[in-house]
Structure 1
């Protein structure tokens, strides 16, 4: 009897002994799903609540008084929001493509058994997962040595490659791509670049989707790089803008003079709490909409290297 058949037989016996097992697991997963969903619903509720209702009634799952003033205010800040959205889209798109190419190429090289420096480079990739040079050294390198300060590349290059993603790619290529396939291509005279782009990548869609999602989430949700390297507000991403709102409720009022509105008047009429939550919803929605289309490949890529019977 195969290991999978033994596992299914044991699972059937367990379910017969514990008839309520599935019910318990369903309740647990429902509770966990609610723990993830309820905070998002609360944020959405706050973004749709008037400032007066928030001050008098506090945060509620169902708005005490519906209001769209936060989204109207965001729409009025067209220049700032659009510019921040453009930076986020640019950084996420370029960073994801660049990161996927660098990560998969490094993972493929480390997965080849006949590569002489495989052991050394594997340790070089693995060590930063445990130890790193620290924030001060990385800031000095990125700002002073590479000159990335106040450039879009400061938001892209530091996050393009991670040891964890390289290990995932290495494991996938080593366990999925047959050595015979690579050897046959080499016998036919194909170069390593041609093998990688024409043979390996087309049959590696699960790991490409997985690494792409990891990088996409990382870039889209990142605000820390902006805090470190960006002083020019024209290079703020949506996440950096939200962080600015969280720490300074008057952040959107900095452009008041250009709109012909006094600073005091704008601050007085600004939907502070609901505006913060509305920006958070604007940030979350694109990722939430895109994830279901990649979920199948994402799960497949994460299970790479699992024990097989």
Structure 2
């Protein structure tokens, strides 16, 4: 009996045997490779010569090294640098404000002692299912609020997103013990002190998870610049790259315009495929540095509540 007990102590129900463990590791390595290899291919093509791409196709290592695609995109570097600054500002400030507002909305509707929690939860859920349409959306921000050509219009539409509010509400409900809140109330803490002193520190996983998704949303957004920015001064880097792509498509389809460029610059070769890849590299920019910061909390936010006990 002691032997059985000692063996059971050494046995971990969550431990995989060597064979299945090897298979799982190989699957994850293959999946990671499938995520990384396309990025390496994009980088290789972006530094390739356009003519070599047309002859030999895409290759990880360029047949002929060239930075013409980046020269084409960054020829007028000052607007690009300014768009980078706008995107960074909008992403950082927009994410911080959005997290603050959504947390303030999610916390009250997570409290079972809040009388109208179901009504406000339904209102937020309703916005996920239905919206007012593009025309009222445009008129609201451009005519009523008069926010065109401002950085605020690039942030405000994403301050509150219903799905993220419900995710935070679920975390507050399931992961913040009611006893902790009651003990704080007994100790004389008010609602604001309880929220900022207890709830927020215990909610870092979900805040980081939602923050990462908000960061990606702000950084990758180009549609708001298309709708509300007309002065070509307050546009994001993604929309700047979108405009460059339209220029390439226009020159490719308009032989007269391309011929006029060749007359003024006989040695000009317009990059097409390489420029598209260079746009992807320029567009990803500083966003890659957000992952190491959010990764640990993001994983916790995905797994928290999965096992209770």
Cα deviation digits, residues 106-140 of structure 1 (max 9, x gap): 11111111111101111111122233333233223
- 2:250 and 2:288 map into 1 onto residues whose CA distance is 27
- 1:244 and 1:75 map into 2 onto residues whose CA distance is 13
Equivalent in the alignment of 1:283 = 283
Equivalent in the alignment of 2:123 = 124
Equivalent in the alignment of 2:308 = 308
User: Scaled by the length of structure 1, what TM-score is found?
Assistant: 0.83
Pick which of 163-172 and 196-205 moved more. Answer: 196-205
Structure 1 residues 52 and 108: CA distance shift in structure 2, 3 A: same
- 2:286 and 2:102 map into 1 onto residues whose CA distance is 24
Q: How far did 1:8 drift? A: 5.5
Cα deviation digits, residues 43-88 of structure 1 (max 9, x gap): 1111111222223223222222111233344454221110110110
Q: How far did 1:298 drift? A: 0.4
- 1:31 and 1:22 map into 2 onto residues whose CA distance is 14
Equivalent in the alignment of 1:179 = 178
Equivalent in the alignment of 2:39 = 40
- 2:74 and 2:100 map into 1 onto residues whose CA distance is 36
Cα deviation digits, residues 7-56 of structure 1 (max 9, x gap): 953x66xx66xx74334433333332233222212211111112222232
Equivalent in the alignment of 1:50 = 49
User: Scaled by the length of structure 2, what TM-score is found?
Assistant: 0.83
Would the aligned equivalents of 2:45 and 2:274 in 1 still touch at CA under 8 Å?
A: yes
Where does structure 2 lack aligned partners over 5 or more consecutive residues? Answer: 1-8, 252-259
Would the aligned equivalents of 1:160 and 1:215 in 2 still touch at CA under 8 Å?
A: no
- 1:266 and 1:211 map into 2 onto residues whose CA distance is 49
Would the aligned equivalents of 2:107 and 2:169 in 1 still touch at CA under 8 Å?
A: yes
The alignment yields a C-alpha RMSD, in angstroms, of 2.7
Equivalent in the alignment of 1:113 = 112
Equivalent in the alignment of 2:245 = 246
Would the aligned equivalents of 1:69 and 1:271 in 2 still touch at CA under 8 Å?
A: yes
Equivalent in the alignment of 1:201 = 200
Structure 1 residues 75 and 244: CA distance shift in structure 2, 3 A: closer
Would the aligned equivalents of 2:212 and 2:290 in 1 still touch at CA under 8 Å?
A: no
- 2:86 and 2:265 map into 1 onto residues whose CA distance is 25
Q: How far did 1:263 drift? A: 5.8
Equivalent in the alignment of 1:297 = 297
- 2:153 and 2:84 map into 1 onto residues whose CA distance is 17
Cα deviation digits, residues 213-235 of structure 1 (max 9, x gap): 11111101111211222222111
Cα deviation digits, residues 165-220 of structure 1 (max 9, x gap): 11121122122222222223333433322221222222322122112111111101
Where does structure 1 lack aligned partners over 5 or more consecutive residues? Answer: 253-261
**Following superposition of structure 1 onto structure 2, how do residues 1-309 of structure 1 map, counting pairs within 5 Å?**
9=13, 20-249=19-248, 265=264, 268-309=268-309
Would the aligned equivalents of 1:168 and 1:304 in 2 still touch at CA under 8 Å?
A: no
Pick which of 109-118 and 194-203 moved more. Answer: 194-203
- 1:224 and 1:138 map into 2 onto residues whose CA distance is 13
Q: Which has the larger radius of gyration?
A: 2
Number of aligned residues = 290
Pick which of 134-143 and 235-244 moved more. Answer: 134-143
Equivalent in the alignment of 1:258 = none
- 2:222 and 2:265 map into 1 onto residues whose CA distance is 25
